[in-house]
Amino acid sequence: MTRHDDRFRENRFETLAVGAAENATHSDKGGTSDVIPPIHLSSTFEWASGDDANEHDYSRKSNPTRAALEEQLARLEGGEHGLAFASGMAAISTTMLSLVPPGGHLVSSDSVYSGTEKLLTESIANHFGVNVEFVDAREPENVDAAVDSDTDLIWAETPTNPLMRLCDIRSIADIAHDHAIPFGVDNTFASPYFQAPLELGADIAVHSTTKYLNGHSDSIGGAIVTDDDEIFEKLAFSQQIGFGNMLSPFDCYLVTRGIKTLPARMDHHQENAMAVARLLEAHDRVARVHYPGLESHPQYDLAAKQMSGYSGMLSFEFDGTMAEIEAFIDSLEIFTPGTSLGGVESLIEVPSLMIPDKVSHRSDTTEIPETLVRISVGIEHTDDLREDLRTALP
Ligand code: PLP
């Protein structure tokens, strides 16, 4: 729980979250020392030579609002370089397509967000002929057994969506470094407030900023942070020139604004999630609760070691019929049924019911149980959330 203090000593996480974006504004030529980074909508910037040269020329390549966000993202993840993308999937696909050549070899955790799984199986493997190997990354030795000197990328997500499984970032990073393979981690569920993959040895931290970083369910975006100059050059080229899939200035502004309250929101999300997890765990119609903050989570010790908190994401297995689950969802008044997560409002999703085409049936170990319910616990009053669930559960 001391990570933030160790890492920032003088600039603690909460302080950086509120203030980091301002530096970019003040160094912006012609700026007006705004307290918040303004939205620069200009697609192009006046050219000048010598001392008057403008650091921005065309907004696909760089834009002052995006630069402010990218700097802020890098500082929060404790990395050198940040890049902001049009969605989380844009950040993930850009990482994979830029670092893995056609016919290359990619080793991925078998428990990943369904969109990432589809990208890996349908595009990266089928379309680009990449040998994608899925392994149960809960055991680092499975990753070690799968990689060889030709492996181009190791990919993991922790905690995973929606099974809330973890992988040991430091152990996998050691394996990656032994083989000089880049290691990317989807840090969306924890947010940089609760987990620092780069500090644990990963080379790339990726986010769907749509979730906790923006935090208000009103922007789709993605981010990459890395310390590695070579990786950064490749990803920046793809973002700015190759794919042109950068985040718009308005969305950059929204994410920059959202980040200012990330620490306050995450603490509240976690407090509420813990209360909800304990209520569910004690309920006789709940077979199992998946929340890394519960002692009953099989990887609780790892969670306590590599995370400084557990966020608002949890899932549980309902002990009953699908008709009962539908009745339960219908009876809820505060939890809104819907996909997505990480916003201030509580959302509830039954993957088999609401997104059946996205549910993984790839293997027995990654199969999502039909009665699995995923909750993104918001920041409403804890008692109201508990009461809503207690009343709606049969
Ligand atoms: N990574 C994780 C863990 C996710 O849950 C999601 C979306 O739910 C994504 C990536 C994709 O993000 P986006 O919807 O912003 O493309």
- From the CA of 88, how far away is ligand 1's center (Å)? 5
State residue 320's pLDDT score.
96
Q: At what angle do helices 262-281 and 382-392 cross, to 10 degrees?
A: 30
Query: Helix or strand or coil: residue 294?
Result: coil
Region of 279 on the Ramachandran plot (φ > 0 left; ψ -120 to 50 alpha; else beta) = alpha
- From the CA of 266, how far away is ligand 1's center (Å)? 18
What residues have CB less than 8 Å from 276, skipping those under 6 apart?
Answer: 314, 375, 377, 385, 386, 389
- The residues that bridge with 289 in the sheet, in sequence order, are 316
Element at 226 (helix H, strand E): strand 222-226
Which residue of 93, 210, 213, 219 sits with most ligand 1 atoms within 8 Å of its CB, as the best mutation to test the pocket?
210
Q: What proportions of the chain, in percent to the nearest 5, are helix, strand and coil?
A: 40, 15, 45
The question of whether 186 is a catalytic residue gets the answer: yes
User: Side-chain half-sphere of 385: how many Cα atoms within 13 Å?
Assistant: 28
109 within ligand 1 shell (Cβ under 6 A): no
- From the CA of 194, how far away is ligand 1's center (Å)? 18
161 within ligand 1 shell (Cβ under 6 A): yes
**Rounded CA gap, 332 and 325, in Å?**
11
From the list 138, 211, 234, 265, the catalytic residue is 211
Q: Is the dihedral of CA 305, 267, 372, 185 positive or negative?
A: negative
- From the CA of 92, how far away is ligand 1's center (Å)? 9
Quick count: other Cβ atoms within 10 Å of Cβ 383? 9
Element at 376 (helix H, strand E): strand 372-376
What atom in ligand 1 is closest to the CA of residue 89? 16
What are the backbone angles phi and psi of residue 194, rounded to the nearest 5°? -105, -10
106 within ligand 1 shell (Cβ under 6 A): no
Question: Which residue's CA lies nearest to atom 12 of ligand 1?
Answer: 88
- Indicate the fold that domain 263-392 takes in CATH: Aspartate Aminotransferase, domain 1 (3.90.1150)
State residue 366's pLDDT score.
78
**Rounded CA gap, 330 and 388, in Å?**
11
- The residues that bridge with 336 in the sheet, in sequence order, are 347
**Rounded CA gap, 101 and 99, in Å?**
7
Query: Helix or strand or coil: residue 58?
Result: strand
From the list 12, 60, 170, 257, the catalytic residue is 60
From the list 186, 203, 251, 388, the catalytic residue is 186
From the list 110, 113, 165, 374, the catalytic residue is 113
Question: Which residue's CA lies nearest to atom 15 of ligand 1?
Answer: 88
Q: What is the pLDDT along the chain (394 residues), one digit of tens a residue?
A: 334 445 444 578 999 999 755 554 554 545 677 888 899 999 999 999 998 888 899 999 999 999 999 999 999 999 999 999 999 999 999 999 999 999 999 999 999 999 999 999 999 999 999 999 999 999 999 999 999 999 999 999 999 999 999 999 999 999 999 999 999 999 999 999 999 999 999 999 999 999 999 999 999 999 999 999 999 999 999 999 999 999 999 999 999 999 999 999 999 999 999 999 999 999 999 999 999 999 999 999 999 999 999 999 999 999 999 999 999 999 999 999 999 999 999 999 999 999 887 776 666 677 899 999 999 999 999 999 999 999 999 9
* Domain boundaries of the chain, sorted by first residue: 6-259, 263-392
Question: Which residue's CA lies nearest to atom 8 of ligand 1?
Answer: 340
Q: Is the peptide bond before 159 cis (omega within 30 degrees of 0)?
A: yes
What atom in ligand 1 is closest to the CA of residue 222? 15
Residue ranges of E strands in 130-198: 131-135, 153-157, 183-186
Question: Which residue's CA lies nearest to atom 13 of ligand 1?
Answer: 88
The question of whether 60 is a catalytic residue gets the answer: yes
Class of domain 6-259: alpha beta
Q: What predicted TM-score, i.e. pTM, was given to this entire model? A: 0.95
